[in-house]
Structure formats: structure tokens, C-alpha cells
Structure 1
Amino acid sequence: MIDPELLEKLVAFQKYGTLSATADHLLVTQPTVTRSMKKLEEQLGVALFDRSISNRIKLNDTGVLAATEAQKLLQAHQDFEKRIQNFAHQQSELQIGGVMPGPSIFATTLQPEITVKFTVDFQPLAPEAVVDELLAYKKHLIFVNDELNNSEIESMYLGVERLGVALDNFNPLAQHASVSFKELAGLSFLVGQNIGPWRSLIEDCIPNANFLYQEKFTAVNELSKYSNFPFFFSNLSKLSKPTATRFSPSRTKVMIEDPNNAMEVYGAYRKQDRHLVQPLLKNLAQKWPQ
């Protein structure tokens, strides 16, 4: 079997073009690179370089193909290592993520009541990354807002997430039992930056609003204490301690009654993990808040 280090040097040579540049990148000497390239040619039994120009070598057509294939092999080797490491890591507890934060927050509020051990990654995933995250064994379960089913993955419906808004008591809308998105027009809101598909929804549905996005939810918590900017919560996130700390006596919680204010939530998982994930999902579905 060919030493992966020889392939790494070949790929580096294709990228950097000269022995000296390759050696500098790999932090080795130029003679080391030269010996490695000759050894690789010997093992393959073919010439990979055009040495017709004095004091300079370049890849021939065979060498270009070899470098291209070597890159694929190295990437496959990295993917193999990562998949095995991820799989081993998953044996101790469930790894959970989501395209929006609400369901993950809700799951953590129930964690003391649930026998299943799990760890939550609160960094929302891009919807197009969900399948790869599951198949690469990075996550057991990912909360998504669209049903996902294929030959290896299935999903279970959990419930609906809905937004509410915490308004300053002096805002006339705070006297309402509920408001629509359009009634919130022109206001400025404190918002966590990573709220997944909710971000485009509120931007599209609330006319002329300003959204003061904060990278960390802790910043939203702090700013909400010292300002009267309204902020959003949901039927899922309002149960968490960090969100509850934002609700001071100077604010009124008002639910948003609007046709667009309903996001279905599903739990997507690998079919082979059904026996691990479904007990948790059934527990969440039974306790899903309205």
C-alpha cells in the first residue's frame, strides 16, 4: 500500500508547482520532496514527471491524473477517520442539532425528566447540511421544519412552533390579547442572529421593522434588561430559564396571531437509529406546548 504521505506530497506539488514551494508548504527540505516523488514513481511503476527541462520538473499527464486521484483518496481517508470517530462518540449519548433553536431549547428544559442522555449543539444548521450531518454520524437527531424521508433517513412530526413578542408595558400593543405581524410594523426588535428559518419569515412579514441582530443570545438577554426594545420568544423557548429571565415586570408577553406564524417541527434521524431516537421524540411530542 502506498504511504499517504507520498500522496500528500504529490498533491502539494500539483498545487504549488515547484519542489521548493512544496517543501516550504510541508515544512520539509527540498531533497526530501524529491526523494518522495521518486519513491512514489517506483511504487507505481510509472513516470509522473516531465524532467526534460534542466533544473525543473513538472507533472506529465499521468502525474496530473495521479495527483487528482490522490486528492480523492486523501479526502476519502479523512472522511473515513471522521465517520468512525463520530460514530464512536455517538455511542455514549445522543447528539442533537436543529435548523432553528426552539426545539433544542425545549428539549433541554425537559432533560431532567428524560432518561435518555443527549447533548445539544445550539448552532443552527443550514437545511441543505442536514442529510450530510446525519449520514456522517455527526448527529443522531436534527430538528427540521420540513418532513425529510429517503432510503436512509426518516422524520417524525412533533408539533408547531409559534412566536410571541415581549413588549414594553407602555407600548399600546401591550394591551392587546394578541397581535398580527403587520401590527408590529415599524418597531425595532432585539433578535438572536441564529434563529434559522424564522429570520426570513419575520423580515418578510413585519413591514418597515428594524432587527437588531445579536450574535449571542446572552447579548439579547443583557440588552433586554436595559432597554425597552421588544424581543421574540416562542411556545418552545419561553420555558427555558434564559428566556424567562428576560420577562421583567416592565414587559408584557403577547402572542402573535397570524396565518404565517406557524412552523411545523419534525425530528429527522437515521433509520438505523430509530430505536435510540424515537423514545425521546415521543416524549417531546407528548409534552409539546401549545
Structure 2
Amino acid sequence: MIELYVLNELAAFPKYGTLTAVAEKMNVSQPALSRSMKKLEEDLGIQLFERGKNRIILNENGKIAAEYAQKVIDAETAFEKKVIEYEQTHRIFSFASIAPMPISELTPILSQQFIGMTVKSELKDNEKELYKSLDSGKSKLVVTLAPPKNTEKYAAVKLFTENLFIVLPKNHRLAEKDKISLKDLAGEKILIYSKLGFWYETTKKLIPNVEFFDQQEMSALRQLAKLTELPSFVTNFTIQNVCEMKDKKAVPISDSEVNVTFWCVCLKKNANQLATIFSQIRAIYGE
């Protein structure tokens, strides 16, 4: 039986031309490459190379053999890809979201529905990447900031609304306001979690001259929020954390860009597979 690595070496000859070049590209010694090509000729009973002094090149038989070797390699690559895709399709449920809270809320729902499957999530910061992931089949479900425009291709269900608040010391200049806009925070130094999806760039864009103190771990951010007077963000889903900080106040932010409704979107051809999930979402969130 001919080993695949030998076919890989043979298929490299049309591209690189010489024994020296092929050996270098395939990371093998020239004597080892020469021996494996000689063994291949013996196994096939066909001469594949013209050999001269310090020279070895493919003959016509060799060119045809190299062409078919490449086809075998391509078939092996396709075989591996398809088997992995099948495994992922039947053992892994992948979804992606524009923000972290939908991931936290949906993961247990999906895990309960797809027992025996691994639920994997990915955070994206723009909807173009979400739809790319959905269209390619990498994600079976995505969470967006708006329902899809192409209702012939996509199916969707409303998830929930999330509203942004700024946590301020009670002696802060804005703490007595009933509501503020992001531009009111101009020039502030703000603690922020770095893995926020769309929230991060949106707030940074809408607050003039803001200085973010990025935190990679949520636990570290919460600790700093308690111990310092630096403002930080919460939403209606995490506002309970402010109850632990008696000297702080959460003020709602009025900008429409940070008071958002999330939508779960799937390919319409897969809607039947997610019908139960969509029904559960409607029942839980009542949107």
C-alpha cells in the first residue's frame, strides 16, 4: 500500500521541479526523498523519473502519476473535512451573538434542548460577521440587534431587551440625574469589561474623549468597581450588583444605541429544527 506522505512528495515535483527544492519544502533529506521515490517506482513497476548526474526530473509517466497523486491528496483532505463537519453537525450546536448576555441566557436553554450535544458560543462585534457565520453553516443560530431584512432566507424570534446604565459614586456630578446620555460622560475614566461585543465600540464611539480602563476578567472589574470611584457599566440584567455598593448609584442611559432588543436568527431552511427553541424563548421572555 502506498503511503499518503509518498504521494505528497510526488505531487510536489511539478510545483518545485527539483529533488533539492522538493526535499527542502517537504522538510526531508534528499537521500530519504530519493529512496521513497525509488520505492514508489518499484511498487508501481513503472519508471517515473529521468535520472542524470545530480539531476532527477519527472518523465511523462511521472507527470501523470503526480497529477493523480494530487487528486488523491485533495480527496483525502475533502474526506477529512466532511467527516469533521458531520461530527460537528451532529455533536456540536454552535451559535454566535453580538453581545454576552444572550450567550449567558441561551446556553442553558440550548443545552437542555440538545441533550448529548456540546453547545459552543462565539462573541462577535458586528452583524456582518454574524450573518457570515450563519450562512457558512459555522453557526446554527445567531443573535442580532434587529430582525433580518431577508425574511425569505431567514427566520427570527425576538429575544429580550437590554438597557445600559452607568454606575457612579453618589457624589458624582451626574449622580442626581434621572437619566443621562453617553455624551454627558465626555472625558470620563471608565472601568469596562473588554469582552462586550457591540457594547464596547458603541460606547467608545458615543462618549467624547473617554478613557477606558479595560478589564479582561469580570471578577476583577467588579472588585475595582467596589473599591474605586471609577464609573462602570451595568445593564438591567446585572444591575443587582450595584446593591452591594451602598455608595454607588446606577443611572439609566438614554441613547437608543444602548437600549437594544436582541433577535435570534436562523436560516429558514433550518427553522423546523429550532421551532421548539423559538417557542421556549417566546414563553420565557414573552417578547
TM, length-normalised to structure 1:
0.71
Matches within 5 A, 1:170-249: 170-235=171-236, 237-238=237-238, 244=241, 247-249=244-246
Residue 181 of structure 1, CA deviation: 0.7
Alignment-derived partner of residue 271 in structure 2: 274
Residue 208 of structure 1, CA deviation: 0.7
Structure 2, gaps ≥5 residues long: none
Deviates more, 1:214-223 or 1:9-18: 9-18
Question: What secondary structure, in the 3-state scheme, does the structure 1 residue paired with 2:238 have?
Answer: helix
* 8 Å CA contact retained: 2:162, 2:260: yes
Q: Cα–Cα, structure 1 residues 158 and 170, in superposed 2: closer, same or farther, change >3 Å?
A: same
Q: 2:144 is aligned with what amino acid?
A: V
Q: Cα–Cα, structure 1 residues 30 and 200, in superposed 2: closer, same or farther, change >3 Å?
A: same
Q: Cα–Cα, structure 1 residues 156 and 178, in superposed 2: closer, same or farther, change >3 Å?
A: same
Please give the per-residue CA displacement for 1:208-253, whole angstroms capped at 9, x wherever unaligned: 1011222333332333233222222223x427xxx73785222211
Name the CA distance, whole Å, in 2 between partners of 1:132 and 1:39.
49
Q: 2:86 is aligned with what amino acid?
A: I
* 8 Å CA contact retained: 1:158, 1:288: yes
Structure 1, gaps ≥5 residues long: none
Alignment-derived partner of residue 155 in structure 2: 154
State the structure with more CA Rg. 2
Residue 57 of structure 1, CA deviation: 4.7
Alignment-derived partner of residue 255 in structure 1: 252
Alignment-derived partner of residue 84 in structure 1: 86
Question: What secondary structure, in the 3-state scheme, does the structure 1 residue paired with 2:249 have?
Answer: strand
Structure 1 residue 102 and structure 2 residue 104: aligned? no
Identity %: 18
* 8 Å CA contact retained: 1:174, 1:254: yes
Name the CA distance, whole Å, in 1 between partners of 2:213 and 2:58.
54
Please give the per-residue CA displacement for 1:141-174, whole angstroms capped at 9, x wherever unaligned: 2212344448765333334433211222221212
Q: Cα–Cα, structure 1 residues 122 and 85, in superposed 2: closer, same or farther, change >3 Å?
A: closer
Q: Cα–Cα, structure 1 residues 289 and 193, in superposed 2: closer, same or farther, change >3 Å?
A: farther
Number of aligned positions between the proteins: 275
Report the RMSD for the aligned CA atoms in angstroms.
4.4
Name the CA distance, whole Å, in 2 between partners of 1:246 and 1:4.
64
* 8 Å CA contact retained: 1:83, 1:136: no
Q: 1:79 is aligned with what amino acid?
A: K
TM, length-normalised to structure 2:
0.71
Name the CA distance, whole Å, in 1 between partners of 2:273 and 2:6.
42
* 8 Å CA contact retained: 1:104, 1:120: no
Name the CA distance, whole Å, in 2 between partners of 1:214 and 1:199.
12
Alignment-derived partner of residue 18 in structure 1: 22
